Amino acid sequence: MKISFALSLVCLFSVGSVASAEDTATAEAADTVVLFDGKDLTGWVGREDLWSTEDGQIVGRTTDSDPIDGNTFLIYKAEEFENFELTAEFKIEGGNSGIQYRSRVVDEAKYVVSGYQADIDDANKFAGILYEEKARGILALRGETVTIGSDGKKSKVQFGNAEKLGNGIHPGKWNDFRVVADGNHLQHFINGAMTSEVIDEQSDKAAKTGIIALQLHKGPAMTVRFKNIKIRKL
C-alpha cells in the first residue's frame, strides 16, 4: 500500500508538472506577436525602394550611387508595445542600423522615428548599446548598467568588458538580438550575452510604450537583414 501510494504521488506530480509546463507554453504563445511572417511586409511601412523581402528576410539596402540623405526606418504600424521581450536575428554588411522600440514617428513622409534603439553596426563599435534616436543620444555603452535619475544625471556601473562583449558579435553573419523592456528597466542581449542595461527614472523623457522600427542609416552603402522577429508581451 505504501509503495502504491508513493507511486501515485509521483504520477500525480509528473502529470501536474507536464500540465503546468503546457499551460505556461500556451500562455506564452498567446502573448507572442510575430511581427514578420517571412513572406511580406504586412503591418510595416517604409520606403519601398529601400526595403524588401528576400528568402524569408526583411532586407534594407542603400547604394553609393543613390545615397539617402538622412536616417530612415521601416515602421511596424499594426500595434504599439509597452512591456515585452523582443527577439530577432540580424545580419549587417556595412553601415549602421538598429531596432527601435517604444518609439514614435516624427516625420511620416520620410519615415523618421525617435526613441530607444538597440544599436547594430558593421564596425562592431556600437552593436548592443542603447541609443535614443533624435533624443538623449547614447544612454548606455556596451558593458554598462546606467541608471538615469529623475534629473537626467547618469550613474554608471561597468558589468563587462566592451571589447570582449564585442568579440561575441559577428558582423556579416547572423546574430541573435534580444531586447527586454519591463517598466523603466531596459536590457539588450546579443547571442545570449547582456550588452547594455538602463534603468530610466527620468519620467519626463522615458517612453513607456511605442512602435517598433528598423533603421537604415545615412552614409556609405549598406545592407541589413532581419528575420524571426517576435515579441512576447510581459
Do residues 20 and 42 both lie within one domain? no
**Cell triple for 137:** 543620444
49 and 112 part of one domain: yes
Give the per-residue pLDDT at 13: 47
Cβ proximity of 133 and 114 under 8 Å: yes
Examine the domain organization and report whether 24 and 68 are in the same domain: no
**Is a pLDDT exceeding 90 seen at residue 2?**
no
Does the structure show a pLDDT above 50 at 10? no
Q: How confident is the model at residue 28 (pLDDT cuts 50, 70, 90)?
A: low
212 vs 20: CA distance, rounded Å: 32
Length of the chain: 234
69 and 84 assigned to the same domain = yes
Question: Quick one: 23 and 102 in the same domain?
Answer: no
Could you tell me if 20 and 113 lie in one domain?
A: no
> Is residue 17 located within the same domain as residue 113?
no
CATH number, domain of 209, equals 2.60.120.560
87-145 pLDDT, tens digit per residue, is: 999 999 999 999 999 999 999 999 999 999 999 999 999 999 999 999 999 999 999 99
Please say whether the beta carbons of 99 and 177 come within 8 A: yes
User: 83 and 144, same structural domain?
Assistant: yes
Nearest-angstrom CA–CA distance, 209 and 183: 9
Tell me the residue range of the domain where 20 lies. Answer: 1-30
Q: Are residues 92 and 17 in the same domain?
A: no
> Residue 226: which of 66, 51, 67 has the closest Cα?
51
| Mean pLDDT for the chain overall | 92
Prediction pTM value: 0.89
17 lies in the same domain as 40: no
Asked if 98 and 156 sit in the same domain, the reply is: yes
Position 30 scores a pLDDT of: 76
Pair (18, 43) in one structural domain: no
Number of domains in the chain: 2
